[in-house]
Structure 1
Amino acid sequence: METKPAKTAGRYQLRFRGTECLNCGHPLDMSDKYCPNCSQANSTKKLTMKDFMDEFLSSLIDYDSRLWKSLVSLLTRPGRISLDYIAGKRVSYSNPFRFLLSLAFIYFLLIGFAGNLGDLDNVNLDSKLNSDPDSEFTWGLGTDQFSDAAQQVMDSLETEGKIDSKNLANSIVEAQRKKDSAMIADPKGYLSNLSGKGFTERFIEKSTLFFKLIHEDTLFSYDDAAKKYELDDKNENRVAFDMAKSVQRALQRPGSFLSDFMTKLPFATFFFLPLFTVFVWGVYIRKNYTYTDNLIFSFHNQSLLFILLIISFLIDLLLKIDSSGIFLLVFGFYLYKAMRNFYKQGRFKTILKFLILNTIFFILALMAGVAFFVGSAITY
């Protein structure tokens, strides 16, 4: 339990102390300034507006001092703040979890506000994706829109006289048109033909069908679709419909979707870091640190990364430059020093584990980012 600075002024004077805690009923002595059971201040004086404001300002100043010391320690003493915290020196520092969450919110809010994401709502991607196949954007494969890799392969084959890329593209688009027409003409029959397929393939096909039906008929709920097309009332169908509806909303308002996605990213950090810490714990399994100790170390390092990203973002915003590369290099050197100070291993071992853990970090971060983005799109 964290100790609090003793207060003796105002309602904390000796004459206002009681012999029983007003919060938990624990017996108290007149010398007890705080209840040893629940930590509430031992005071029987009625709370006045002046007392209320004094406590509010005092708590704010105490938190600010912890915040400032945490910032200074993070910036100037790599790894040391984690050593202090797990050793029990916690009163002077902000809680690592709350500190990281605050920094993550600040960073992603800055990105959301300064990125003018709301302007993207003027671009209706849904209408473009479902426009005429000869337009610039199509839902599925377009006439002229192929990935660079696919286009290079087709150009190579065409040069060798094996295919005609234009005719092949037209054939693909025509096949897609026929498939779409069959889906929309008989949704019930199309769903029945999917029964023999695996769950993943079947679910994607159903979502694609509902996406097209929602666009064509302006359906607002699965009940509307089930009534109009005489579809079975299955949970799988409902979930596929809801996913298609969410994706269409995201395409119709991409700016709002990205803004909403940015506000959720801080929470994604707290799902990702505990998983990454498992690997940190495994790499340093011989060290006398618990999983929680390693997690605190990860929280502190991630907090420093967000501090540097915020500073870099503000510099780029003011000076119209790109300083992210420099700050990432600074973070890389900082992380190396933090690992050296915290785990106390030699340079070679630290560099090797630095490379291993950073490789794992980027792979997990990429996977988590993609999964979270897709999850946000289908639940928007």
Structure 2
Amino acid sequence: MLEKYNTKDALYKYRGKTCLNCYLPLEKSDHFCPNCGQKNTTKKLSFGDFFVEFFSGLFNYDSRFQRTLRVLLFKPGKISKDFINGKRMRYANPFRFYLSASIIFFLIAGLSNRFEGVNFAEQEQGFENQVNKIGQDSILKSELKEIPAIKENNIPVDSIFQNVTRGKDTVKETYQDIYFTQAQMDTMSFPERTGKKLTIFYRYYKENKNPIAEEVLKDLNYENTAWNQWLYRKAVKFDLFYNNPKLFADYFTNKLPFIIFFYLPIFALFIWLIYIRRPFNYMEHLIFAFHVQTTLFVLYIIGYSVDYLLQSDWGFTLANTVFVFYLYKSMRNFYEQGRVKTILKFIILNFIFFTLATIATIIAVIVSFSIY
């Protein structure tokens, strides 16, 4: 784009007889290698060359980016149809464009307060309840001391207080209440044994706060295996996430773009089954799925940005509303079917989408927690 402004590079004295990249023989008149496309020049790099090449690539990508974004948002289904019909150089690659949009979305979403995990208001209320309870207990003890029968017989007020309040307070759970020996564990099935161990490990850590798995297994008289150590570390992590869920929410959110990237091919399979009579192969359905999902991320980027700047909630709601209509129009324009068929398949696809999304989320949470 900007090569014509670089007069030095245009001189024949900088033209080589062989491509420095693929070693194809060249003529002096060849400005670019016809095999790999590299510029035919032997001139040493300078800051000016780097500057020109950088902005040339930026503007070229920006042109495709703007066109892709404009068609994607304002002409539902057109970009997918153009892409499968061979008009690909004018648009950004659908898979790379998806990853770019999803990463930007989750970065912006991280700035919002939708995923806040710690509710300090609840913690303060719990503290106030404890203070009030202590105050009520003190009043109750002082009232018991004034009862004539207790004063005359010198009955200990503390013992009466314990009897009066017994059953009101929840008994603190301890790992010893559910403890099983190693021999007892060996008689259980693997899923049952694993569940018991996780519960015991979790309660043990809450009581003792010992993060060293080897010491804990020795104290519990369990086998010091890699599996038992891993289970105990997961119990420690669970306690950490339980007290501050935002840690895991941030970790899981960062992985979502790639989770959805591998989830969409499965969803495209169901689209192919629903439109099996239409003249589209699986890859063409997959491209449509990626374009639609990218549009959702772009709308969320706009919605989250509006909510963040205006401190409101209507931007996210509006993005969801617009996307429902956009998805219907995309299906109608891309698959070229009537309104009744499109609406029916629209409902079926949404049911499949949310069902698969729920299953994928559960699996992703389990896997993410396991590898954290």
- Structure 1 and Structure 2 fold alike (TM over 0.5): yes
Q: Is 370-379 or 262-271 further displaced after alignment?
A: 370-379
Q: Closer, same or farther in 2 for the Cα pair 1:31/1:78, shift >3 Å?
A: farther
**Matching of residue 353 in structure 1 with residue 348 in structure 2:** no
The one of 9, 13, 16 aligned to 2:10: 13
Residue 106 of structure 1, CA deviation: 2.0
2:138 corresponds to: none
Aligned pairs for 1:270-309 within 5 A: 270-309=261-300
Q: Aligned partners of 1:6, 1:123: CA distance in 2, in Å?
A: 59
Residue 301 of structure 1, CA deviation: 0.6
1:56 corresponds to: 54
Residues 223-249 of structure 1, C-alpha deviations (whole Å, 9 max, x = no match): 232344342133432332232122122
Q: Closer, same or farther in 2 for the Cα pair 1:117/1:76, shift >3 Å?
A: closer
2:336 corresponds to: 344
Q: Aligned partners of 1:231, 1:287: CA distance in 2, in Å?
A: 60
Q: Is 65-74 or 99-108 further displaced after alignment?
A: 99-108
Taking structure 1 as the reference length, the TM-score comes to 0.76
Q: Which runs of 4+ in 1 moved over 6 A?
A: 121-125
**Matching of residue 203 in structure 1 with residue 200 in structure 2:** no
Q: Aligned partners of 1:321, 1:22: CA distance in 2, in Å?
A: 56
Q: Aligned partners of 2:242, 2:87: CA distance in 1, in Å?
A: 50
Q: Aligned partners of 2:188, 2:249: CA distance in 1, in Å?
A: 34
Q: AA paired with 1:56? A: F
Q: AA paired with 2:104? A: I
Q: Aligned partners of 2:280, 2:26: CA distance in 1, in Å?
A: 38
Q: Aligned partners of 1:104, 1:33: CA distance in 2, in Å?
A: 38
Contact 1:109 1:262 in 2 (8 A): no
Contact 1:112 1:259 in 2 (8 A): yes
Residues 331-376 of structure 1, C-alpha deviations (whole Å, 9 max, x = no match): 1221111112212222222222111111100111122223323433
Contact 2:94 2:287 in 1 (8 A): yes
Q: Is 221-230 or 351-360 further displaced after alignment?
A: 221-230
**Matching of residue 239 in structure 1 with residue 230 in structure 2:** yes
Residue 209 of structure 1, CA deviation: 1.6
Contact 1:243 1:379 in 2 (8 A): no
Max Rg structure: 2
Q: Closer, same or farther in 2 for the Cα pair 1:323/1:121, shift >3 Å?
A: closer
Residue 56 of structure 1, CA deviation: 0.8
Q: Aligned partners of 1:303, 1:33: CA distance in 2, in Å?
A: 38
Residues 108-129 of structure 1, C-alpha deviations (whole Å, 9 max, x = no match): 222221218567296999xx9x
**Matching of residue 90 in structure 1 with residue 88 in structure 2:** yes
Structure 2 unaligned segments of length 5 or more: list them: 134-166
Structure 1 unaligned segments of length 5 or more: list them: 136-169
Residue 325 of structure 1, CA deviation: 3.8
Contact 1:309 1:327 in 2 (8 A): yes
Q: AA paired with 1:234? A: T
Contact 2:173 2:203 in 1 (8 A): no
Q: Closer, same or farther in 2 for the Cα pair 1:81/1:31, shift >3 Å?
A: farther
Identity of aligned residues (%): 39
Q: Aligned partners of 1:84, 1:210: CA distance in 2, in Å?
A: 57
Taking structure 2 as the reference length, the TM-score comes to 0.78
Q: Aligned partners of 1:246, 1:333: CA distance in 2, in Å?
A: 42
Aligned pairs for 1:1-380 within 5 A: 7-10=3-6, 12-13=9-10, 15=12, 16-115=14-113, 120=118, 177=173, 180-183=175-178, 189=181, 191-317=182-308, 318=310, 320-380=312-372
Q: Aligned partners of 1:123, 1:78: CA distance in 2, in Å?
A: 44
Contact 1:121 1:254 in 2 (8 A): no
3-state SS, counterpart of residue 249 of structure 2: helix
Contact 1:6 1:33 in 2 (8 A): no
Q: AA paired with 1:13? A: A
Contact 2:118 2:244 in 1 (8 A): yes
Q: AA paired with 2:44? A: K
Q: Is 7-16 or 337-346 further displaced after alignment?
A: 7-16
Q: Aligned partners of 2:295, 2:70: CA distance in 1, in Å?
A: 11
Contact 1:80 1:342 in 2 (8 A): yes
3-state SS, counterpart of residue 333 of structure 1: helix
Q: Closer, same or farther in 2 for the Cα pair 1:65/1:216, shift >3 Å?
A: same
Residues 29-74 of structure 1, C-alpha deviations (whole Å, 9 max, x = no match): 4444433443333222111111011111111111111111111101
Contact 1:246 1:378 in 2 (8 A): no
